[in-house]
Chains A and B, each alone.
Chain A
């Protein structure tokens, strides 16, 4: 991919992802979720945040964190918020969505869901977004969307949004019960449990019909360990 194809992430806010919002993920974990440390299925939506340093656009090259050979590739749908959304009833959920985009949630593989996965999910570049935001009017039924992930052009995963624990209207309602989402924020639809992994040199692509194809490349961690401060002005 040439440098000029690189684009900025098409969103301005924070990205929030729900844990275990795919039924197959819950089913695969099964009784494990009843044992310590969890002691029961999740009740309210459990969210993680992909902060600003993780956001990169289509065509980006993402450097793996130091000491990490492979990362999980979580291709999913991003709901781009169009209106400030607080206490949104399910029947108004689509009114607060401005559009849709593709998000690749990159994570360092980790088994425990007990503590927030900060190192695992917040490394620089861990949240490719794009290639653009597609207006919601161009998609009639997002609940049936199919998400396809390719690594080096090989199809490695295909899943659909038909099996969500909280379908999109319910997810937006339950999340905005306790937190306001702002225009430009993104709420992810969720992810299945067993995700493909990729390493240095791999080319990743995620496709959703009607939204597009988001591509990024992984490269090995720089091992110089030097201070890489940039020239942005101080606060």
Chain B
């Protein structure tokens, strides 16, 4: 089952996918353009991985890390499918990152790797945008780079874990204005899903709704105003996002 949270006719609905359409609980069928998409899971504690694909670590001129490079995201940063992300006016290099998002479904502590998948509710697609201009060598990558408002699109769907027999063999692709710019496969993760669940749960309790964004392969391209960015994970979903400037949000000055 593929599940979504959408806004339609003044209410939040839990919808499921039905032949490319959305089906609401009252059996209304809607096209994806008819609704406002929310992140399919209300984010709680969300971890993301840096440098978790060997090729991407190489691209950024780092050697692969010996322990996972983890950082956290605030709840302000998440937006749904078909939404807009602001590019700061002074940014010279802002890039997407196509990532498989692992959503925890059961609470657990000290989870052994062999049981890790029992704790996964499902999977989604994340676009973990980064504004590299704001990198500093403190708690790198810091929240100003990675947890900006509307800089982490998530969705469209939460795909039930049982419908994803091998999450470590999925193609990742990013298209900017229709052109393929990033390609990889989840089999090339350095720290894999069972390891990450075991690693985190050794010092913290994982809870339903917690998420791990598992990192991105090589192929990072600077995005420009107006760009339509599709991050796609095979069998999980195609997540559309558009880059806009501040003015698109009609922001009132101080």
* Residue positions of A touching B, CB distance < 8 A: 13-14, 16, 19-20, 37-40, 42-49, 51-54, 65-66, 86-87, 89, 113-119, 122-124, 178-182, 225-230, 232-235
Cα–Cα, bound, A51→B107 (Å): 15
Number of B interface residues at 8 Å Cβ cutoff, please give it. Answer: 48
Is B209 close to A, CB under 8 A?
yes
Q: Provide 24 A-B residue pairs closer than 8 Å at the C-beta atoms, listed in order of the A residue.
A: A14-B74, A44-B136, A47-B142, A49-B74, A51-B44, A51-B45, A51-B204, A52-B44, A53-B207, A86-B149, A87-B251, A89-B254, A114-B139, A115-B139, A124-B204, A178-B134, A178-B148, A178-B149, A179-B76, A179-B149, A229-B106, A232-B207, A234-B105, A235-B41
Q: Which stretch (B14-22, B110-118, B181-189, B213-221) binds chain A? A: B110-118
In the complex, are the beta carbons of A42 and B44 less than 8 A apart? Answer: no
Known: A227-B112, A232-B107. A51 touches B72 (CB 8 A): yes
Interface centre among A45, A49, A114, A122 (most CB of B within 10 A): A49
Q: Which of A46, A86, A87, A228 is B109 in contact with, Cβ under 8 Å?
A: A228
* Contact A232:B110 (CB < 8 A) given known A13-B75, A14-B74, A44-B134: no
B138 touches A49 (CB 8 A): no
A14 to B143, CA, bound (A): 13
Return chain A residues, CB-CB under 8 Å to B71.
116, 118
* Residues of the A chain whose Cβ atoms lie less than 8 Å from the Cβ of B103: 235
With A14-B75, A38-B137, A235-B106 already in contact, 16 other A-B pairs whose C-beta atoms are closer than 8 Å: A39-B137, A46-B142, A46-B143, A51-B45, A53-B206, A89-B254, A114-B137, A116-B141, A118-B47, A179-B149, A180-B76, A181-B76, A182-B75, A228-B109, A229-B107, A235-B121
Q: Is B59 among interface residues, defined by CB-CB distance under 8 A?
A: no
Q: Which residues of A contact B105 (CB under 8 A)?
A: 234-235
The smallest beta-carbon distance between B20 and chain A, in angstroms, is: 25
The main secondary structure of chain B at its interface with chain A is loop
Give the residue among B45, B70, B74 with the most A Cβ atoms within 10 A. Answer: B74
* Contact (Cβ within 8 A) A227 B139: no
A-B interface, 4 closest residue pairs, ranked by CB to CB distance from nearest: A235-B208, A51-B45, A49-B72, A235-B105
A44 near B144 with CB under 8 A, answer yes
Assess whether A227 is in contact with B140, with CB atoms less than 8 Å apart: no
